[in-house]
């Protein structure tokens, strides 16, 4: 018996040694097979088909009416759909129109786009649909909203960041969307910048740890299943510390500070398997990031070994002409960006980027090898996601969408994000007998609680808020009783409304709750 135990122990020991070796070997085999599939498909593609794969276009470019027409009902325009997806081989679509869509609407729009891409093009390459899932699958009606990343940072709880990533991925995939532009890994040390709430704050370590946790949740054990999305950490590099505090503006930081404080979260994200990264819209030390070959090719792809897709931010190729003024026209901007290492352009409006790529390659201004490298990365991402086999999983796979358990996770994250700074004279918890005055611009606004990227881009449109949620005022009245809670707005964001009345009513109250806050905004409007 002792011999058998010893023999079994020996076998267990040998297996323990061999399993990692087998796993590594299997991983290498899978990678080689994937690479072969990509190369086979790439070899069949024309230059025009390759160029189209490098374009990420806005949904509204495929819809009836003007791009910024503010349509109350959006409808796909068949002529635009065929023009861009079939004729110009556009490989990616992103975001939404004026209003959030239901699961059914998302699945219809994306399903129709995939139908054209896979059944009515020569090679049947699916599109990859991306979305700004900034604090949940926020553009899907009824989805679970989480605190913004700054709130998650206040929790100091990686498990909650992981749950945020996992549930965001689940509900995005339920909507048919396999690619999420996040997490935001910008370390921000500029208090004037309007997008700090979208980050994990000023601390590199917290950003790194919580970013890792979010990615683990969103991507799970690996891409290719019904509940995992591809993440897209952003914005490489230094975006969160603009010199003047304005969005998309210059950053001036010595390289040793960039490496010490701003790079580590991206290094970890790459090690975690992030398959795409979005570039900083601004410039670093005088060089626009979208044309910075050192930043994209030498550092990101070379030194850090990033093998995924490098994508621009919104319309940033034309910004090289109109904002940075380093290119005389779009064609020169495309040449500079692609040669610097950009793989995909978020060109929301039309096919012009693809047209310019074809022209530049034919003129010898951009090497075909650079285009092949970009498209190879894009095809690899699509194959890793399993889009060729499952462009969209059945809706029956997602019974937990907006479930009570998801809501409980969101509530726990919100609860742990609260930070009590003072409690003089034990004001809290509130006495249920106290007369309470509630005042302030954020007192009776769901939009101020949610922030930007909440059902809409700005998060300011009250028409699209979740009806079952409570404002601060409504929650206090529900807990304490309407007879105990008085409300006087006082001011709105820009002007006095009835401050004198608020002061008068304050003298009658035992407790005054002043709800302060910034009006929701992001990107340039947040300046």
Strand, coil or helix: 372: helix
Peptide bond into 237 cis (omega under 30): yes
Q: What pLDDT is recorded for position 4?
A: 45
Class of domain 420-526: alpha beta
Q: What pLDDT is recorded for position 18?
A: 61
Q: What pLDDT is recorded for position 7?
A: 64
Please state the φ and ψ torsions of residue 178, each to the nearest 5 degrees.
-100, 5
Class of domain 87-397: alpha beta
Q: What pLDDT is recorded for position 1?
A: 43
Burial class of residue 405 (count of CB atoms within 10 Å of its CB; 0-12, 13-18, 19+): exposed
Q: What pLDDT is recorded for position 2?
A: 44
Q: What pLDDT is recorded for position 25?
A: 66
- Output the pTM of the full model: 0.93
Domain with CATH 3.20.20.300 in the chain: 87-397
Domain with CATH 3.40.50.1700 in the chain: 420-526
Q: What pLDDT is recorded for position 19?
A: 60
Q: What pLDDT is recorded for position 429?
A: 94
Give 387's contacts (C-beta < 8 A, 6+ positions apart).
Answer: 126, 128, 178
Give 388's contacts (C-beta < 8 A, 6+ positions apart).
Answer: 124, 125, 126, 382
pLDDT tens across 217-227, in order?
Answer: 999 999 999 99
* Residues of the chain under the 50 pLDDT cut: 1-4
Among the listed residues 313, 316, 343, 350, the single catalytic one is 313
Buried (b) or exposed (e) across 7-37, using 16+ Cβ within 10 A? eeeeeeeeeeeeeeeeeeeeeeeeeeeeeee
Give 170's contacts (C-beta < 8 A, 6+ positions apart).
Answer: 227, 398, 400, 401, 406
CA–CA separation, 452 and 317 (whole Å) = 25
pLDDT tens across 197-243, in order?
Answer: 999 999 999 999 999 999 999 999 999 999 999 999 999 999 999 99
The answer to whether residue 313 is catalytic is yes
Check: CB of residue 250 under 8 Å from CB of residue 241.
Answer: no
Tokens at residue 309, please? 């897709």
Tokens at residue 507, please? 């003298």
């Amino acid at each position: 018996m002792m011999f058998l135990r010893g023999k079994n122990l020996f076998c267990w020991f040998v297996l323990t040694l061999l399993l990692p070796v087998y796993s590594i070997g299997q991983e290498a085999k899978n990678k080689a097979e994937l690479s072969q599939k990509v190369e086979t498909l790439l070899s069949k593609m024309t230059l025009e088909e390759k160029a189209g794969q490098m374009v990420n276009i806005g949904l509204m470019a495929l819809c009836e009416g003007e791009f910024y027409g503010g349509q109350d009902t959006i409808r796909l325009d068949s002529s635009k759909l065929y023009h861009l997806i079939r004729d110009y081989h556009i490989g990616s679509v992103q975001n939404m129109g004026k209003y959030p869509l239901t699961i059914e609407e998302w699945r219809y729009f994306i399903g129709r786009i995939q139908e054209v891409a896979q059944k009515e093009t020569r090679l049947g390459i699916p599109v990859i649909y991306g979305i700004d899932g900034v604090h949940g699958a926020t553009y899907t009606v009824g989805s679970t909203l989480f605190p913004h990343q700054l709130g998650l940072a206040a929790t100091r709880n990686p498990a909650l960041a992981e749950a945020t990533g996992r549930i965001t991925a689940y509900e995005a995939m339920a909507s048919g969307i396999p690619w999420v532009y996040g997490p935001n890994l910008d370390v921000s040390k500029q208090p004037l910048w309007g997008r700090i709430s979208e980050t994990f704050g000023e601390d590199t370590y917290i950003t790194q740890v919580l970013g890792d946790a979010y990615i683990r949740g969103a991507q799970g054990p690996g891409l290719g299943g019904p509940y995992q999305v591809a993440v897209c950490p952003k914005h490489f590099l230094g975006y969160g510390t603009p010199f003047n505090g304005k969005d998309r503006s210059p950053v001036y930081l010595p390289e040793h500070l960039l490496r010490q404080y701003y790079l580590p979260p991206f290094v970890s994200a790459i090690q975690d398997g992030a398959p795409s990264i979005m570039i900083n819209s601004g410039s670093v030390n005088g060089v626009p990031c979208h044309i910075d070959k050192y930043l994209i090719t030498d550092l990101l792809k070379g030194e850090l070994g990033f093998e995924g897709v490098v994508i621009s931010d919104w319309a940033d190729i034309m910004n090289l002409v109109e904002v940075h003024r380093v290119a005389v026209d779009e064609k020169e901007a495309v040449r500079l960006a692609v040669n610097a290492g950009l793989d995909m352009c978020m060109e929301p409006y039309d096919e012009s980027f693809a047209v310019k790529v074809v022209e530049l390659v034919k003129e010898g201004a951009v090497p075909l090898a650079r285009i092949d490298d970009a498209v190879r990365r894009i095809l690899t991402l699509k194959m890793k996601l399993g889009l060729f086999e499952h462009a969209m999983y059945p809706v029956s796979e997602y019974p937990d969408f907006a479930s009570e358990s998801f809501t409980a996770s969101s509530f726990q994250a919100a609860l742990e994000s609260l930070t009590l700074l003072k409690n003089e004279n034990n004001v809290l918890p509130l006495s249920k007998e106290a007369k309470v005055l509630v005042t302030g611009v954020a007192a009776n606004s769901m939009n101020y609680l949610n922030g930007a990227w909440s059902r809409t881009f700005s998060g300011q449109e009250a028409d699209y808020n979740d009806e079952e949620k409570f404002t601060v005022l409504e929650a206090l009245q529900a807990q304490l009783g309407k007879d105990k809670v008085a409300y006087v707005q006082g001011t709105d964001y820009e002007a006095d409304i009835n401050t004198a009345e608020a002061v008068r009513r304050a003298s009658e109250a035992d407790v005054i709750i002043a709800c302060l806050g910034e009006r929701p905004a992001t990107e340039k409007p947040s300046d």
